[in-house]
Amino acid sequence: MINTIITILLIIITTSGLFFIYLKLKPLHAMIALILAPSLSLPFWIISAQAPWFSWAKVYSVVFAAVIVCLLKFSSERYHPLLRVLCVAVLALNIFEALAYEITETYGWINPLAGLLLLLAIPGSRAISFGPGNKFVKYKMPWSLIVGYSIWDMTYIYTVTQGDSAIFGAIHLGLALLFTWRYKDIYFEVRVFTLSVIMILRMYSDNLSFYELAKIPYNENISFGMALISLGFGIYAIFDRSLSLRRYWISSRRREDRCIGAAKLPAQGE
């Protein structure tokens, strides 16, 4: 029990400390650190030979997202449209990886369905922005998607690892929510950073059975209940997204009507 508490505290302190260091670093330096960390940990992972393909894909896709975020901060604006699209693509891939793994390993269909709904509810690249004087890349997401994504991911972690990594899942998901509860638009950047740190730490620790210190018992009923909640939020996120698209469509039509009306006005003096 003491070892578990110490482990949890170490993870929280380490991730929080690295997050504040990340904020102090220049984007280029932060990007280099994010690239080097998983590269240097690769020998540990190869030696342990315990990680499934999903863990490899997860680490590098998440770190890739963090690198893209850093690139957005110091690259020329002409590259921003492409980088914004890549941010959306990586988030979509992150969800798709998990739901595909859950389906192929036959862990049920409810949580994968929730993941699919969340995937469809992701805002497009126009929702991402970064301007002069900003510390974070902003990605406008509704709380329904943020909370739904967190519950869905927690359900996935709890179910697939049979409780082995549930506490650590709760830590990195909880830290992202804690750091962004006052300003949800920075959730994406904070999330990719905290997840990158947790996954990189796992690369170093697999051979040391680091995560086994924080196991919790697996209960199928709890997993089922979490999946239902996840599905509910997925439906809510889709509804939220449809309202957002409807508002955008109405706003576009109004702008178009105003432009047409202005074009029909006779020029002064006619």
Q: Which of 232, 200, 196 is nearest to 111 (CA)?
A: 232
Rg (CA), the chain: 21
> Global pTM?
0.80
pLDDT of residue 1: 62
Please enumerate in sequence order all residues whose Cβ is within 8 A of that of 202, keeping only pairs 6 or more positions apart, or say none: 55, 59, 168, 210, 211
Average pLDDT of the chain, as a whole number: 80
Has residue 36 got a pLDDT over 80? Answer: yes
Q: How many of the other CB atoms lie within 10 Å of CB of 260?
A: 9
pLDDT of residue 45: 63
Please enumerate in sequence order all residues whose Cβ is within 8 A of that of 89, keeping only pairs 6 or more positions apart, or say none: none
Instruction: Judge whether 156 and 229 are in contact, CB under 8 Å.
Output: no
pLDDT class of 55 with cuts at 50, 70, 90: low
| Bridge-based pairing state of the strands 138-139 and 128-129 | antiparallel
Backbone angles phi, psi at 9, to 5 degrees: -60, -40
Has residue 209 got a pLDDT over 50? Answer: no
CA distance 88 to 139: 9
Least reliable range by pLDDT among 29-43, 92-106, 175-189, 234-248: 29-43
Segment 135-147 shows an average pLDDT of: 90
User: Domain coordinates of the chain in residue numbers?
Assistant: 2-259
Q: Which of 11, 2, 6 is nearest to 205 (CA)?
A: 11
Structure tokens at 251: 């706003």
Whole-angstrom CA distances from 40 to 14, 192, 206 are 18, 19, 14
Has residue 207 got a pLDDT over 80? Answer: no
Place of tokens 């924080």: 214
